[in-house]
């Protein structure tokens, strides 16, 4: 068989109920199947995830399945690109669905844009488990850099793209030795950040990250994502990673100023926001996210987690607002 031009890597762990929709969206790609392959990396699932994957592999010759026994999203992603036969490698999460032209658009960028991008990415929109509350807006879950097509510019450029919609030439993954095992989800626990740390390393030497909003995937948003407590915890983990990546000194003057601003923010939160509905509740969620991020940034490392819990790039991506 001829080598595919692009490999799509799907890392999965105990996602039998969601994986099928992801793989079906890859079956329905408009790109000629001879030009791409799908590499499903099972991270030693304990449910019937492998059964779902094998169902597709038996029907479609461009599907392959490998098992990575080392637990962790980073290990699975690295196994994926090492197994890939394509010149380019694209990643999508096991709980996401690609639009039909997703793969063809990514391949077109790599083969037509000059200089050849070191990374390609696009938008991520939510698909909800259940209808969200009326105060919950899509912006809370959308990952976007806006509507402009082209190479990302500073300050946004260094952050790169969200892990469920990113692609690289295989040589870039090889050159920079893939994703750090210090970061990433392990055993289903909310730990992210391997994508951000990787983009940071790439950018210093190959700062050409191409963004196209038409490169679009839809990402599953469970019911519990639509609560104030989750918005706070998620943002806390993001802030926790930010302080780790920036290696900010805890006793610096700037840290002291940030600490004062944090307590001022807490004192400014009226109780009515906690029980409000409608637009007021929406603003409360925004405020909780800000409080969560600042809490993680100021105190996360003090609590002994060393910041390896989440991706600091998610905050700039939030709703496309810089």
DSSP 133-158: PTT--GGGT-B---S--EE--TTTGG
The span from the CA of 234 to the CA of 160, in Å, is 19
- Specify the pLDDT at position 247: 56
List the domain boundaries for the chain: 6-224, 227-317
- Specify the pLDDT at position 315: 38
Q: What are the pLDDT tens digits along the chain (322 aa)?
A: 589 999 999 999 999 999 999 999 999 999 999 999 999 999 999 999 999 999 999 999 999 999 999 988 899 999 999 999 999 999 999 999 999 999 999 999 999 999 999 999 999 999 999 999 888 889 989 999 999 999 999 888 988 999 999 999 999 999 999 998 765 455 545 444 678 889 989 999 999 999 999 999 999 999 988 888 788 777 777 777 666 666 555 556 666 666 677 666 666 665 555 555 556 667 777 777 777 777 776 776 544 443 333 333 343 433 433 3
- Specify the pLDDT at position 72: 87
- Specify the pLDDT at position 270: 59
Architecture per CATH, domain 6-224, reads as Alpha-Beta Complex (3.90)
Where do we find the tokens 């199947």?
33
Characterize the bridge pairing of strands 119-128 and 166-169: antiparallel
Q: Identify whether the C-beta of residue 26 lies closer than 8 Å to the C-beta of residue 64.
A: no
3-class SS letters over 58-99: HHCCCEEEEECCCCCHHHHHHHHHHHCCCCEEEECCCCEEEC
- Specify the pLDDT at position 170: 98
The span from the CA of 176 to the CA of 93, in Å, is 22
Helix axes 228-246, 278-299, angle to 10 degrees: 30
Q: Identify whether the C-beta of residue 150 lies closer than 8 Å to the C-beta of residue 210.
A: yes
Length of the chain: 322
* CA distances to 21, 120, 208 from 97, in Å: 7, 17, 26
- Specify the pLDDT at position 229: 79
Where do we find the tokens 């004062």?
260
The span from the CA of 7 to the CA of 92, in Å, is 11
> Which residues neighbour 94 within 8 Å (Cβ) at sequence distance 6 or greater?
10, 11, 12, 13, 15, 18, 19, 22
- Specify the pLDDT at position 242: 66
- Specify the pLDDT at position 319: 40
The answer to whether the pTM exceeds 0.85 is no
- Specify the pLDDT at position 309: 36
């Amino acid at each position: 068989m001829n080598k595919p031009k692009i490999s799509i890597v799907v890392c999965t762990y105990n996602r039998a109920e969601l994986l099928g929709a992801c793989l079906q969206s890859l079956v329905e790609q408009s790109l000629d199947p001879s030009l791409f392959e799908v590499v499903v990396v099972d991270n030693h699932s304990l449910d019937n995830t492998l059964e779902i994957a094998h169902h597709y592999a038996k029907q479609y010759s461009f599907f392959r399945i490998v098992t990575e026994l080392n637990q962790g999203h980073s290990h699975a992603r690295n196994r994926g690109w090492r197994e890939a036969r394509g010149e380019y490698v694209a990643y999508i999460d096991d709980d996401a669905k690609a639009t039909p032209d997703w793969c063809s658009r990514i391949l077109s960028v790599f083969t037509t844009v000059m200089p050849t991008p070191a990374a390609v990415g696009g938008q991520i929109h939510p698909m909800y488990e259940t209808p969200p509350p009326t105060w919950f807006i899509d912006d809370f879950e959308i990952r976007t850099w806006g509507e402009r097509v082209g190479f990302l510019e500073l300050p946004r450029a260094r952050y790169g793209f969200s892990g469920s919609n990113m692609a690289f030439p295989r040589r870039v993954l090889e050159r920079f030795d893939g994703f750090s095992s210090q970061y990433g989800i392990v055993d289903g626990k909310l730990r992210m950040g391997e994508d951000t740390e990787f983009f940071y390393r790439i950018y210093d030497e190959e700062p050409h990250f191409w963004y196209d909003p038409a490169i679009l995937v839809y990402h599953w948003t469970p019911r519990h994502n639509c609560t104030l407590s989750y918005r706070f915890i998620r943002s806390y983990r993001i802030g926790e990673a930010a302080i780790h990546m920036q290696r900010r000194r805890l006793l610096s003057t700037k840290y002291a100023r940030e600490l004062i601003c944090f307590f001022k923010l807490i004192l400014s939160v009226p109780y009515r926001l906690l029980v409000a509905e409608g637009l007021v509740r929406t603003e409360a969620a925004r405020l909780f996210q800000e409080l969560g991020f600042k809490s993680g940034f100021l105190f996360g490392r003090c609590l002994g987690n060393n910041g390896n819990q989440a991706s600091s790039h998610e905050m700039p991506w939030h709703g496309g607002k810089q």
